[in-house]
Amino acid sequence: MPGSDRGRAGHGGDAGFDRGRPGHGGEADSDRGRAGHGGGSGFGRGAAGRGRGPGWAGTDRSRSWPPRRADGSPRQGRHAWPGAVVAALSFHAFGSGAEASALAHPTDIIAWVLLLAGPLALAWRGRAPIAVLIVSGAATIGFATLVEPAWTYAVAVVIALFTAVKAGRRAVAVPIAIAGYLAYLAVMWFFADALGLPAAVRPEVRDSVLTAVGLAMTVFVGNAARARSAYLAEMSKAKAERARAKEEQERRQASDERLRIARELHDVLGHHLSLINVQAGVGLHLMDNRPEQAREALAAIKTASAEALREVRAVLGVLRPEEEAAPRQPALGLDRLTDLTADAGLPVTTETVGQRRDLPAEVDRAAYRIVQEALTNIRRHADTGVAATVSVTYAETELHLSVQNDGLPAEDEPDGDDNGSGIAGMRARAASLGGTLEAGPLPGGGYLVSAVLPTGAGENT
């Protein structure tokens, strides 16, 4: 039987296909084969070894291997595994060679030519399986007219039929096999007398039935091998698709996490550095005349910088290896709203409407960051002495936030979307949770940031 998969060429042949490496000469190996040690070239990732052939440099390696037809079936290489040729030669020569040699000259020469034609033709079964089937079948019928019936000289035609069916040529191979079988019966039974065939070479009914059963079993096994190859190819394709989908998901998750970290760092650094800048300016202004107040400004700078460091460590905590200790800093949320407004660097009034309850972690953190960024924008763009009001409303399935200041008139108020990423970042943060955020100047002066974040009915207490 053919050994087309994972075969290894022995010492003496041609190319080894797919990962082949040149060696001492063996014939082709169609799938993952390796040529022995010789002059043939190794195809597909091959490297020139001690033989003279190159390793197929410059080939497009992006193509899948083994090559496949449009229906997904594997396509045979130009040379097939030599094991089948060796096996068929062995059965033909050792099984029926004595009968061929016993014939009178020159009939014995003709017998040997017919006996060896089928096995040698198998070397091209990968390139032309149907032609090899026809040649081996005709040679087998011709040899059968010279010697007594035996299965040993039919090995080549069985291998050729199996290869053709496995290669996806069943629609052509089966009619050819049937036609060859009928021709065999016609020659050996109906035209035997006309051809002068001796009685010894004519097969009995039992032999003819066994021949038909053998051909049918060969077709069945070849079709099963083809179905298995197609199944394995489909499984390999599905596995590759799953691996690609998993890799894409991991890349998307990594990108989302980087975006989240960038937003967190923007909020943390923007808020605290702005506060430090304001307090540093106050300290410099009061250093000579009112050193006590300058000392308070420096204390505020120290507190803000320490808080900034803690929050940066918390944001970057996702990069910490699992074996390291968990952060000691509490998770950012509305529970720390009092600390946030106390360190805002401007007067802030906080209002809470509704029954306070635990929120989903991502909603709680987003609410904190939105308030923090809104206060930072007020401190950056509003006049000195401006006050802010923070309102938090717990609705049944939503959380309403508003941050309002009584600063500059509407025409002097900056547009966050045009002058910075603060408003855009807050809006993106709210949208990522399925919420909304609106920001704009008030008719009578000042600026209003309002957000609605869904919390889910299950979080009600």
Give the tens place of pLDDT for each residue, 12-38.
334 333 433 333 343 333 333 333 333
Q: Where are the domains of the chain?
A: 82-203, 347-461
Checking if the pLDDT of 3 tops 50, the result is no
- The CATH code of domain 347-461 reads 3.30.565.10
Q: Which residue has the higher pLDDT, 88 or 80?
A: 88
**Measured CA distances, 16 to 19, 26, 87, 339 (Å):** 8, 8, 19, 73
Q: What pTM value is reported for the model?
A: 0.43
The pLDDT value recorded for residue 394 is 93
Residue 331 main-chain phi, psi, to 5 deg: -65, 140
Q: Which two tokens stand for residue 160?
A: 């050729």
CB within 8 Å of 79: residues ≥ 6 apart? 13, 14, 15, 17, 27, 28, 30, 123, 124, 126, 127
Percent of the chain with pLDDT over 70: 73
Residue 45 has pLDDT above 60, yes or no: no
Answer yes or no: is pLDDT of 98 > 80: yes
Interval 268-306: pLDDT, tens? 776 777 777 777 777 777 777 777 777 777 777 777 777
Best-predicted range by mean pLDDT among 34-48, 189-203, 232-246, 307-321? Answer: 232-246
- Please, what is the Cα angle at 65 between 62 and 69, to 5 degrees? 105
